[in-house]
Amino acid sequence: MPETLSLMKRIALQRDGLSRSHRGVADYVLANPFHAATMGIEDLAAATGVSVATINRFAREFGFQGFVGFRAECLRIYARTLEPVEKIRRLEGGETGALPLMLASLVGVRPNLDAAIGLLDVSACSRAVDMLIGARRVYIVGFGVSSALARLAQHLFEPNLAVVELIDGTGGTERVVRRIRQVSSGDLVVGISLLRYSQLTIDMLARAKTAGAGVLAVTDFADSPLVPHADAVLLAPSEHVALHASATGAVAMIEALATALARRCSSPETEVKLTEDLLPYLYTDTP
């Protein structure tokens, strides 16, 4: 059994060759991986109707000395997902004043911008802009916290692109499914998702790829699950002292992409005309 396979894949592959009691444990772990990662050995034994000794033997079946090692590996799968819980625990008993906490947040996200700058890749940047300009239609996908980032991208890209569709969950799942079914060759899907990644976003990128569309991902880490489905990736680290992810880097990356897009597509003449059209709706200090 290759060691590179994840624990859950190993359990699934070996499941049919296990004893009946071990198959019961395997079925529970596969159906409830988060619970298996967070419950104690007695709780898992009770949930699967076996003895504590059987749970330890099951763990040894997969190369662990006992349940402790098995549980640690299960927990590792959710390490990033559970990170906000640990962050809040670290804050407990410490500073409670608003100013120091807000200062810590602001100072803490500054390295994300430096890291994003360091991760910029010339080919990825050029390809991202070329894909946006060359697409027949651009679909921007983002759910949860990333829906705000998707709306920002739509707002910044629209002045320079013919068709920019937003898929952010508005209108419910039915509308999301209808929109993604319309994606085809010649289109571009921009997927935006940070830690606590959206499975729906990942599924939509995979479906767009299968349909022959281009895929651009804006995400935070090189091992983000969006990366395997993307033709180009822009990385914006999202570390934060308390929240599960900071959007600061992603906002800056979207603005940077919009800047390059504007330079390729805009001219002083078009900007003057746009400003004239908007002028009646803008605040000025003239009477």
Give percent of the chain above pLDDT 70.
91
Q: Same structural domain for residues 241 and 115? A: yes
pLDDT digits (tens, 9 = 90+) for 131-162: 999 999 999 999 998 999 999 999 999 999 99
Q: Does residue 211 form part of some domain?
A: yes
Q: Same structural domain for residues 70 and 181? A: no
Q: Same structural domain for residues 11 and 123? A: no
Rounded mean pLDDT of 192-207? 94
Q: How many domains does the chain have?
A: 2
pLDDT digits (tens, 9 = 90+) for 57-94: 999 999 999 999 999 888 877 776 666 666 666 666 66
Beta bridge partners of 167: 141
Q: How confident is the model at residue 4 (pLDDT cuts 50, 70, 90)?
A: very low
Q: Does residue 200 form part of some domain?
A: yes
Q: Same structural domain for residues 110 and 243? A: yes
CA gyration radius for the chain?
24
Q: Does residue 276 form part of some domain?
A: no
Rounded mean pLDDT of 251-267? 93
Rounded mean pLDDT of 170-197? 93
Please give the Cα distance from 188 to 213 (Å, whole number).
6
Q: Does residue 92 form part of some domain?
A: no
Q: Does residue 253 form part of some domain?
A: yes
pLDDT (0 to 100) of residue 285:
72
Q: Same structural domain for residues 51 and 127? A: no
pLDDT of 5 strictly over 70: no
Q: Same structural domain for residues 57 and 157? A: no
Specify whether the CB–CB gap between 119 and 138 falls below 8 A.
no
Domain boundary among 77, 95, 124: 77
pLDDT digits (tens, 9 = 90+) for 12-35: 999 999 999 999 999 999 999 888
Q: Same structural domain for residues 137 and 237? A: yes
pLDDT (0 to 100) of residue 283:
79
CATH of the domain at 63: 1.10.10.10
Specify whether the CB–CB gap between 187 and 215 falls below 8 A.
no
Q: Same structural domain for residues 59 and 165? A: no
Q: Same structural domain for residues 159 and 23? A: no
CA-based torsion, 262, 264, 266, 267: positive or negative: positive
Q: Does residue 285 form part of some domain?
A: no
List, as one string, the DSSP characters of 241-269: SSSS---HHHHHHHHHHHHHHHHHH--HH
Q: How confident is the model at residue 3 (pLDDT cuts 50, 70, 90)?
A: very low
> How many angstroms separate the Cα of 115 from the Cα of each of 109, 110, 118, 248?
10, 9, 5, 12
Q: Does residue 97 form part of some domain?
A: no
Q: Which domain holds residue 171?
A: 106-265
pLDDT (0 to 100) of residue 280:
85
Please give the Cα distance from 214 to 232 (Å, whole number).
9
pLDDT (0 to 100) of residue 26:
95
pLDDT (0 to 100) of residue 281:
84
pLDDT (0 to 100) of residue 129:
97
Average pLDDT, the chain: 89
pLDDT of 174 strictly over 80: yes
Q: Same structural domain for residues 228 and 133? A: yes
Q: Same structural domain for residues 192 and 126? A: yes
Q: Same structural domain for residues 158 and 23? A: no
- CA 58 to the chain's CA centroid: 33
pLDDT (0 to 100) of residue 60:
94
> Who contacts 51 (Cβ-Cβ below 8 Å, separation ≥6)?
45
CATH of the domain at 196: 3.40.50.10490
Q: Does residue 275 form part of some domain?
A: no
Please give the Cα distance from 75 to 54 (Å, whole number).
20
pLDDT digits (tens, 9 = 90+) for 209-252: 999 999 999 999 998 999 999 999 999 999 988 888 899 999 99
